[in-house]
Structure formats: structure tokens, C-alpha cells
């Protein structure tokens, strides 16, 4: 589905990504773990075209490196940024409807799916986005991205700052997304949830991948966790 080879990225003169390599397969949940500041969020942003990528990014066997963000989205990649980026003056339902791409007919995710998975969104359908809690906003932005029927959805830190009950809901949602045939690239800080839902994991350090393997392999590797994940 997605293949990244020798990816480099810069902010000004700062060399952030220093030869990143990884893959995401069909219907697969892949998590990128690591401490703050190692380049995880920059990896997602670079795949979406900002900052400019240097290296290979193949999506469904076609290069997307150098395309504009809207062109990449139209190819079938959805992106949920860490800051959520909902429209605060629009209602919950209006935010969701904005996620629909023109010309999309048979979608794997619609309004009723959002209402069913997160009944609280249905209750607040006519409320403006500005009055939602942090957890509700996170639910909204994930569902809005799914309304565009992506083949791959990239999600940056979806559980940050949320209550444990909401974290569990989001974990269950991600598992259901993969069951519907949508691949997931997840940047996550919580090791427990990443180990529970991921098919494969990467650990990033100093702008490159330092580990790749299954959840069970990472759970058994205390040296990697100590050196690259634990504070």
C-alpha cells in the first residue's frame, strides 16, 4: 500500500528525517513509536507533501513524492493531524459532510457509521465544533477523514491528553477501520495501545527507524524500549 525509501526532510537547515524506510500493507495497522522530537510527526507531514520530501514515497505502486497535499489526498490518503483542525464555527454534521470527496459514490464510511461508533457525535450533531471536548473533537476529525473514503489513513497522536475510556474507544475504532479494508499508519505515544492494536511497529530515533517488528517482539525487547522509548 505505502512504501517509503530513504526519505529525508528538512526544516530550514535542520535535517529532521535522515533516511527513513518503512512499509504499510493492505488492511494493516502500522505504528511509529518514539520520543518527542525524533521525527514521527514530520514523517506523516512529509508524506503529505509538506515539508518537501527527498527520497521515494510510493502509494499503490505510484510515486507521490513532490505532489501537492490535495493531489495526495485525492490519490486515497487521509491525514488526521495532531492538532485535529476541525472547523469550530461549523456544526458536527457539517464538519463530517465536508470530508466527502466530490464524485465519491460507494463509501466504506458514512454518517450512520460515525453516529453508531460515537453516539455522542449524534447527540451533538447540530452543536458547533468549538463546544466539543478534546475527545469529541478527536472522534470528529477521525470520522471526517473517513468520510472521504481513504485507502490509507495516517493519524498523529490520536490519544494524547484523552481519558482512558476515550482511548479505548479510539483503539476499537482503529481496529474496525482496518477490518473495513483501510490501512492505518499511526503515530502513537502510548505503548500499551500500540502493542494492542498494531500488526507491526517501528521505533524511530534521531530521524531514522531503529526497530521494526511485531508487537510481541517489541514487548520482549527491553533494550530497545529502554534506549528509545522510556523516559
Q: pLDDT digit string (tens) for 15-54? A: 999 999 999 999 999 999 999 999 999 999 999 999 999 9
| pLDDT confidence bin for 93, thresholds 50/70/90 | very high
CATH for 2-228 is: 3.40.50.300
**Helix (DSSP H) and strand (DSSP E) numbers for the chain:** 10, 10
Over the Cα atoms of the chain, what is R_g? 17
Residue of 116, 134, 123, 124 lying closest to 176 (CA atoms): 116
Going by the DSSP 8-state scheme, the letter that residue 128 receives in this structure is B
Mean pLDDT score across all residues of the chain: 92
Q: What is the pLDDT of residue 104?
A: 62
77-80 and 2-11: which strand pairing? unpaired
CA distances from 40 to 157, 219, 228 (A): 10, 20, 13
d(CA 93, CA 165): 23
pTM of the model: 0.92
In sequence order, what are the beta bridge partners of 185? 30, 154
Q: Which three cell numbers stand for residue 154?
A: 495516517
> Tens of pLDDT along 117-176?
888 899 999 999 999 988 889 889 999 999 999 999 999 998 887 888 888 888 888 998
Q: Which three cell numbers stand for residue 24?
A: 504499510
d(CA 149, CA 81): 17
Amino acid at each position: 500500500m505505502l512504501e517509503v525509501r530513504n526519505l529525508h526532510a528538512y526544516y530550514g537547515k535542520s535535517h529532521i528525517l535522515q533516511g527513513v524506510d518503512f512499509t504499510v500493507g493492505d488492511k494493516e495497522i502500522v505504528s511509529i513509536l518514539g520520543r518527542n522530537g525524533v521525527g514521527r510527526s514530520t514523517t506523516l507531514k512529509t508524506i503529505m507533501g509538506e515539508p518537501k520530501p527527498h527520497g521515494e514515497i510510493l502509494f499503490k505502486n505510484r510515486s507521490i513524492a513532490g505532489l501537492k497535499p490535495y493531489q495526495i489526498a485525492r490519490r486515497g490518503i487521509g491525514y488526521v493531524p495532531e492538532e485535529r483542525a476541525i472547523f469550530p464555527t461549523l456544526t458536527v454534521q457539517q464538519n463530517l459532510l465536508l470530508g466527502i470527496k466530490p464524485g465519491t459514490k460507494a463509501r466504506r464510511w458514512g454518517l450512520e457509521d460515525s453516529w453508531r461508533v460515537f453516539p455522542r457525535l449524534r447527540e451533538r450533531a447540530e452543536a458547533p465544533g468549538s463546544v466539543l471536548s478534546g475527545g469529541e473533537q478527536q472522534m470528529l476529525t477521525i470520522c471526517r477523514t473517513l468520510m472521504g473514503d481513504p485507502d490509507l489513513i495516517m493519524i498523529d497522536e490520536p490519544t494524547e491528553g484523552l481519558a482512558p475510556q476515550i482511548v479505548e474507544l479510539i483503539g476499537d475504532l482503529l481496529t474496525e477501520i482496518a477490518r473495513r479494508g483501510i490501512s492505518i499508519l499511526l503515530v502513537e505515544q502510548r505503548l500499551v495501545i500500540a502493542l494492542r492494536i498494531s500488526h507491526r511497529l517501528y521505533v524511530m530515533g534521531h530521524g531514522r527507524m531503529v526497530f521494526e517488528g511485531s508487537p510481541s517482539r517489541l514487548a520482549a525487547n527491553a533494550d530497545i524500549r529502554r534506549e528509545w522509548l522510556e523516559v
